[in-house]
Amino acid sequence: MKHKMSIIGFGGMAGWHYSQAQKIENLDIAGIWDIKEERRTYAAGKGIHVYAGLEDLLADPETDLVLIATPNDVHKPAAIAAMKAGKNVICEKPITLSSGDLQEMRDTAAETGRFLTVHQNRRWDEDYLTVKKILEEGKLGELFRLESRVQGSRGIPGDWRQEKEHGGGMILDWGVHLLDQLLLLFPGVPIRSVYGAETNVTNQLVDDGFRAEIVFENGVNALVEVGTSNFISLPRWYVLGTDGTAVIEDWEMNGKIVRASGVDEKDVTPVITAAGLTKTMAPRREDSIFTEELPVVESDVREFYYNVMAVLEGREESRIRLDEVARVMRLMEAISKSAKTGEVISFE
């Protein structure tokens, strides 16, 4: 079955969607609309149909799917308008600015019978899928600590992401990805508490970074961290269990797993530091540990679109459930509240 998708907003991310669509059978781009003349001119130069306006796009009878790739504050009104015009909707992340806004969008989807989803593309990141496999296989023993972070050194890009009214800031921009991944690693496990802290190194209007300590009911303590003023980046993932540790340094999948071999170390040789001896921090003997490569999981982000089309055709359920999206939204709100009050938030 052939599907036609129109795009509202034709910036960098929309361009990425356009290039992906060229690789997907049975998905055509019907056209685009952007409020900026230069983006409309750019699209026309690539041979893409440019609608006369938003109303023209929504009135196109051949379009059954609308992608919204605008600044974050436009997601809700554009999605509601599209669903009321009879279109199914994909929103770029975050789906909107608050859990209350999301409920309005869900209500409209229910009233109109249209399909609403969000492009949580980083569910297909190989680093995340590799951590998921490590945990599923129990390679590290009982998990007690997990750290997930992304760090850069250029501050927030010089666009609407710096402005609060447009939904800027790193909690909404990157937190939505890392928190979504984290919750999927522990499906069905309630969160006991949340503690958050924001940074404002290069921007005073929105957070340009944050840290969140999240404690799950199963005892796992997770750190989620985003920074934009880090000239030396810490590992993308650092995962600790009773029997081993896994580290993934970067998106290039540099990393390793170090596990206990089962050999008991009864006599620990102290290590000499600059100011004394320590047994506690002495390295393990080589015969008591072994190192193995990461079990890298390959993926294809086009699966997102294959699933969307299958949902529209009644062949599959959506892989991105809106109750999962709503939980992530509430968690982001809890982190922001904790950062402002300095308090630990009881979450679930």
Tens-place pLDDT, residues 93-122:
999 999 999 999 999 999 999 999 999 999
Fold for 3-119, please state it: Rossmann fold (3.40.50)
pLDDT grade, residue 285 (50/70/90)?
A: confident
Three-state SS for 53-86 is CHHHHHCCCCCCEEEECCCHHHHHHHHHHHHHCC
The closest alpha carbon to 39, from 70, 65, 67, 64, belongs to 70
- Give the pLDDT confidence score for residue 56 in this predicted structure: 98
Q: Is the pLDDT of residue 88 over 90?
A: yes
- Give the pLDDT confidence score for residue 38 in this predicted structure: 96
Average pLDDT over residues 299-317: 97
Q: Is the pLDDT of residue 199 over 80?
A: yes
Q: What letters, b where the CB count within 10 A reaches 16 and e where it falls short, cover 275-288?
A: eeeeeeeeeeeeee
Instruction: Give the Cα separation of 306 and 97 in Å (integer).
Output: 27
> pLDDT by residue (tens digit) across 126-172?
999 999 999 999 999 999 999 999 999 999 877 878 778 788 899 99
The closest alpha carbon to 108, from 71, 144, 79, 134, belongs to 79
CA distances from 283 to 229, 248, 257, 272, 278 (A): 32, 21, 16, 11, 10
Fold for 123-300+330-346, please state it: Dihydrodipicolinate Reductase; domain 2 (3.30.360)
Which residue carries 């009773």 as its tokens? 242
- Give the pLDDT confidence score for residue 144 in this predicted structure: 98
Where are the chain's structural domains? 3-119, 123-300+330-346
Amino acid at 53: G
> pLDDT by residue (tens digit) across 215-274?
999 999 999 999 999 999 999 999 999 999 999 999 999 999 999 998 877 778 788 888
- Give the pLDDT confidence score for residue 212 in this predicted structure: 98
Whether the Cβ atoms of residue 128 and residue 181 lie closer than 8 Å to each other: yes
- Give the pLDDT confidence score for residue 117 in this predicted structure: 98
> pLDDT by residue (tens digit) across 313-339?
999 999 999 999 999 999 999 999 999
Beta-carbon contacts of 292 under 8 Å, excluding residues fewer than 6 positions away, are 256, 257, 259
Coil/strand/helix, residue 52: coil
Kindly state the tokens that stand for 232: 């030396």
What does residue 138 show for φ and ψ, rounded to 5 degrees?
A: 65, 30
Instruction: Give the Cα separation of 6 and 51 in Å (integer).
Output: 9
pLDDT grade, residue 302 (50/70/90)?
A: very high
Average pLDDT, the chain: 95
Instruction: Give the Cα separation of 142 and 243 in Å (integer).
Output: 7
- Give the pLDDT confidence score for residue 281 in this predicted structure: 84
Which residue carries 């050194």 as its tokens? 153
What does residue 140 show for φ and ψ, rounded to 5 degrees?
A: -105, 5
- Give the pLDDT confidence score for residue 55 in this predicted structure: 97
> pLDDT by residue (tens digit) across 18-48?
999 999 999 999 999 999 999 999 999 999 9
Whether the Cβ atoms of residue 24 and residue 307 lie closer than 8 Å to each other: no
Instruction: Give the Cα separation of 126 and 259 in Å (integer).
Output: 22
The closest alpha carbon to 82, from 47, 46, 45, 30, belongs to 30
- Give the pLDDT confidence score for residue 211 in this predicted structure: 98
Selected residue with higher pLDDT from 122 and 278? 122
